[in-house]
Amino acid sequence: MLQHARELLAVRSPLDAELIVSEILGSWWGRRAEGGDVERVIGEELVEHAARAATPAALALLTGICYLGTPGQAVRAERAVLELMDKGVPRPAWADRVGTIAHEGCYVSRDVYGDQDSIVCVYSYGGAERHALVVLVDRTKATVLPVPAGGRPPAGGLVRDAWVSSKVDRLLEHSRHEGRTNPLMRFEELDPRDTRAMLQRALEFTNETPDPPVNDTFGSYHAFLRARLRALPPGGHVPQPPVYGRDRRAKIAIQFLASDEAEDLSDRSAAGRCVDRIIDYGCTHDFGRPLRVSPVKAEMFLLDWLPRKVLLSPSEQEAVPHVLASWVRWAGRRTGLPEEGVRATLDAVWDATAKFASAYRDPSAFGLDRDLVDRLLPDGDLEALPRRAFALPFLSGRHRLSGRHGWIDLATLDPADPADRRVVLEFEHPGADPAHLDAHERLTLRLWDGDPPQLWETAQALLDVGFERHDILHRLIALLDRCGDDPRALREALRVLRHEAPPE
């Protein structure tokens, strides 16, 4: 990294210098480090290493870190810069100008669907070297990411990419022209305070997401983006998505089913259940926007979310593409979506319909008893089926839950009922003491709920390398007992366990 920092001695522009430093700091963005936070383990150690090197390149790198590093890195870097200057190490030519950054304005170019925003923030160094930071904010990827506590993704979306342009006037004029001539695009100026609040929220969501779906070059601009957001004025507001309770969702469904667009839906019962899924998807995973429709949202609903998350009956599987098409016409009219946008979304629905039959893998196609699947998935959460079957293994012929356990008919047990789950565990562990059953019951409940998601991820990783199921259960129980109610400690312990050597 210090060798890379030699490039800082050859540049005159503070912008070029900041981008080089950002690229260096981005080399470990999104990585994990043994022994703690990667920004401390690598970033702060880099500062100390550069301070010890005491070369002009080291001083140049430390100068950049003062402005682009984390607070901990910046404090250490500033102290090291003063010490090296006292020793007579020469400063780079751009050092005095890098701290004169000021913002000039913020703008957004967005599609009418609400899928993506391209945020343009314009800056200069004391009126010179104007440049634009362009940040791509994506709201469509929320459906494939873990929903944080509170039940909905943050309203800012996810930062997918960022880049810098020195052709500011050309960039803004192109965006304005597209906003005037393209019926599917809009261009407008933003309040810099709100821009900072929204982008900070989106960047936090990106940082907290494991393996976020960002573009390959995003890490190189991460530190630059973080620093430029600090240059915007604070005090902004991020609009919170509305909360849709059960009654409000039901009212929307009734209005749709009574509309002209839904008149031709033949199976009204299946249509009602399908539209409930569409509304739930929009409220929970699309930032509280059930009426929003777009080609990308339609495809992700049909080809990703439904096949991964929802147990559909055969009649629902047949009805859902037709219900979605009617919903697009109805919701598009209600929200004022241009006719071009409605047509494009309908084209996406019908294109996805042909793929839906193969994308949606009904558990009954694998020979699983439908009644048993229904008992495992009372909430219809198809994604939960493998982990619940792992926790209560009676799907295979050898383990199928049937026959009698004492006076209890095992085939009638409801695995969603805590008392019945206890009976299943007693059946699997004959003669076990109550404390051992209690431990299995606590683990089973966590696997049932997917709390935390890393629990099932770890179990799968251990299965893949050859551990037996019961051995895995006992290892997970030991972690739960050791970590207690500390979720951070549990996640770290699970991460370590996932990399355990396979059994001999």
Q: Are residue 151 and residue 213 in the same domain, yes or no?
A: yes
Q: How confident is the model at residue 366 (pLDDT cuts 50, 70, 90)?
A: low
**What's 69's DSSP letter?**
S
Q: What tokens were used for 257?
A: 């089913």
Q: Are residue 133 and residue 46 in the same domain, yes or no?
A: no
Q: Looking at the predicted structure, is the pLDDT value of residue 441 above 90?
A: yes
Separation CA 232–CA 253 (nearest Å): 42
Q: Looking at the predicted structure, is the pLDDT value of residue 393 above 90?
A: no
Q: Looking at the predicted structure, is the pLDDT value of residue 483 above 60?
A: yes
pLDDT digits (tens, 9 = 90+) for 237-251: 988 888 899 999 999
Domain for residue 73, yes or no?
yes
Domain end marker among 86, 116, 141: 86
Average pLDDT, the chain: 89
Q: Are residue 222 and residue 111 in the same domain, yes or no?
A: yes
Domain end marker among 303, 331, 361: 361
Q: Are residue 56 and residue 155 in the same domain, yes or no?
A: no
Q: How confident is the model at residue 476 (pLDDT cuts 50, 70, 90)?
A: very high
Tell me what pLDDT residue 478 has: 94
Cβ-based neighbours of 101, under 8 Å, separated by 6 or more = 123, 124, 125, 228, 231
Domain for residue 214, yes or no?
yes
Please name the helix (run of DSSP H) or strand (run of DSSP E) that holds residue 102, with its range, or none: strand 101-111
Q: Are residue 351 and residue 389 in the same domain, yes or no?
A: no
Q: How confident is the model at residue 151 (pLDDT cuts 50, 70, 90)?
A: very low
Domain for residue 467, yes or no?
yes
**What's 43's DSSP letter?**
I
- Which amino acid is residue 11, in one-letter code? V
Tell me what pLDDT residue 487 has: 87
pTM of the model: 0.79
Percent of the chain with pLDDT over 90: 65
More confident residue, 116 or 363: 116
Q: How confident is the model at residue 400 (pLDDT cuts 50, 70, 90)?
A: very low
- For the chain, give the number of residues: 504
Q: Are residue 129 and residue 206 in the same domain, yes or no?
A: yes
Q: Are residue 32 and residue 114 in the same domain, yes or no?
A: no
Range of the domain at 300: 246-361
Q: Which of 79-93, 301-315, 365-379 has the lowest average pLDDT? A: 365-379
Q: How confident is the model at residue 395 (pLDDT cuts 50, 70, 90)?
A: very low
Separation CA 205–CA 377 (nearest Å): 30
Domain for residue 14, yes or no?
yes
SS (H, E, C) 190-249: ECHHHHHHHHHHHHHHHHHCCCCCCCCCHHHHHHHHHHHHHCCCCCCCCCCCCCCCHHHH
Residue whose pair of structure tokens reads 């219900």 in the numeric block? 323
Mean pLDDT of 274-302: 93
Residue 158 DSSP SS3: strand
Mean pLDDT of 199-212: 88
Q: What tokens were used for 161?
A: 């990419």
Mean pLDDT of 117-122: 97
Q: Are residue 384 and residue 285 in the same domain, yes or no?
A: no
Q: How confident is the model at residue 396 (pLDDT cuts 50, 70, 90)?
A: very low
* β partners of residue 67: none
* β partners of residue 134: 120, 163
* β partners of residue 186: 110
Domain for residue 382, yes or no?
yes
Tell me what pLDDT residue 350 has: 96
Q: Are residue 387 and residue 489 in the same domain, yes or no?
A: yes
Tell me what pLDDT residue 145 has: 58
Separation CA 391–CA 387 (nearest Å): 6
Q: Looking at the predicted structure, is the pLDDT value of residue 277 above 80?
A: yes
Q: Are residue 221 and residue 111 in the same domain, yes or no?
A: yes
Q: What tokens were used for 272?
A: 């009602």
Q: Are residue 484 and residue 399 in the same domain, yes or no?
A: yes
List the one residue out of 463, 316, 393 whose CA is nearest residue 385.
Answer: 393
Is residue 361 a contact partner of residue 304, using CB atoms and an 8 Å limit? Answer: no
Domain for residue 163, yes or no?
yes
Tell me what pLDDT residue 358 has: 85
Domain for residue 410, yes or no?
yes
pLDDT digits (tens, 9 = 90+) for 321-342: 999 999 999 999 999 999 999 9
More confident residue, 457 or 407: 457
Separation CA 315–CA 440 (nearest Å): 38
Separation CA 213–CA 30 (nearest Å): 11
- Counts for the chain of helices (H) and strands (E), in that order: 21, 7
Separation CA 329–CA 342 (nearest Å): 7
More confident residue, 401 or 139: 139
List the one residue out of 409, 382, 253 whose CA is nearest residue 313.
Answer: 382
Domain end marker among 230, 262, 288: 230
Tell me what pLDDT residue 420 has: 86
- Which amino acid is residue 449, in one-letter code? D
Residue whose pair of structure tokens reads 């009698």 in the numeric block? 404
Separation CA 383–CA 308 (nearest Å): 5
Cβ-based neighbours of 123, under 8 Å, separated by 6 or more = 101, 102, 103, 104, 130, 131, 132, 133, 228, 231
pLDDT digits (tens, 9 = 90+) for 17-52: 999 999 999 999 988 877 678 899 999 999 999 999
Tell me what pLDDT residue 156 has: 62
**What's 381's DSSP letter?**
B
Domain for residue 239, yes or no?
no
Tell me what pLDDT residue 149 has: 42
Q: Which of 108-112, 116-120, 387-391 has the lowest average pLDDT? A: 387-391
How many CB atoms within 10 Å of residue 364?
Answer: 12
Number of compact structural domains in the chain: 4
Q: Are residue 303 and residue 338 in the same domain, yes or no?
A: yes
